[in-house]
Amino acid sequence: MKIDQIKKLHQKKYRQEFGCCLVEGEHLVLELENAAKHNPKLAAATLYVTSDYADWSSPFEKVEVSAKQMASMSDTKTPQGILAVVPMDAIAPTNHEQLTAIYLHEIQDPGNLGTILRTLAWFGGFRLLLSAGSVDPFNPKVIRSSMGALFHVPMELDVDITTLPERFNAIGCLDMEGASLSAPEFKACDCYIFGNEARGVPREYLDSLNAKAFTIPGVGLIESLNLATAVNISVYERQR
């Protein structure tokens, strides 16, 4: 891939056009190389390095570039001198129908999505479904805040919420009112729906989804938990 194409991968439009995303920095590249041990499709990644990383041994094809070229490709003010271009369709592990699904409806914050991916990878046994209109999981900010967890979590994008009832046996949703998270029915669901940071769960669909509402009991001093916190606590409770 050409240098001036790579720098365009910071924009979703070009990630979709070229089918690739950027993985920047030593730590994330190491995570990518580790993930490649279990996911042969990742061998299609290409590494771009400055002379600082000329000796870096990698399973990926390696291209040396100048510091100036690296700066033009990089998302950060002080580039580390190492980045990988990765085909997006190679990144997520194969989806398994038996994994518990976490469905996020129009999640917006890259840091929230990155943190959630880290939690799903930590616990294992989960897959992520994202609605249309969600933040792009291949956004460099998401990849960075996921600390590489993105390479370990099966994902489906642009999932239509109305298709969930035909795919899952029991749908739960997190809401301001509902049964306690520690109720035994909570663990019986195979898909959990979480709403957007500002608007919460999409009420217009809940009836037709036949979703059971659960809540994380609080003392009422503040309006809501952070979205990622609500997801992370739910995931913890589900596997507890």
List interacting residues with a second copy (CB under 8 A).
31, 111, 115, 118-119, 121-125, 145, 147-149, 152, 182, 216, 218-219, 221-226, 228-229, 232-233, 236-237, 240
Amino acid in the structure at residue 146: S
Query: Encoding tokens for residue 7?
Result: 């720098």
- Rounded (5°) CA angle 142-94-184: 80
Nearest one of 134, 140, 171 to 156, comparing CA atoms: 134
Smaller CB distance to a second copy: residue 169 or 222?
222
Min CB(38)–a second copy separation in Å: 9
Min CB(10)–a second copy separation in Å: 21
Provide CB contacts within 8 A for 19, sequence distance 6+: 87, 88, 89
Where do we find the tokens 């046996």?
169
Smaller CB distance to a second copy: residue 113 or 161?
113
Cα torsion 99, 103, 107, 109 to 10°: value is -20
Min CB(175)–a second copy separation in Å: 15
Min CB(228)–a second copy separation in Å: 7
Chain centre to alpha carbon of residue 41: 18
Smaller CB distance to a second copy: residue 204 or 223?
223
End-to-end CA distance of the chain: 45
Smaller CB distance to a second copy: residue 110 or 140?
110
Min CB(50)–a second copy separation in Å: 24
Min CB(220)–a second copy separation in Å: 8
Query: Encoding tokens for residue 232?
Result: 């992370």
Where do we find the tokens 């194969």?
94
Query: Encoding tokens for residue 178?
Result: 């509902």
SS3 call for 183: coil
Smaller CB distance to a second copy: residue 169 or 221?
221
Smaller CB distance to a second copy: residue 66 or 182?
182
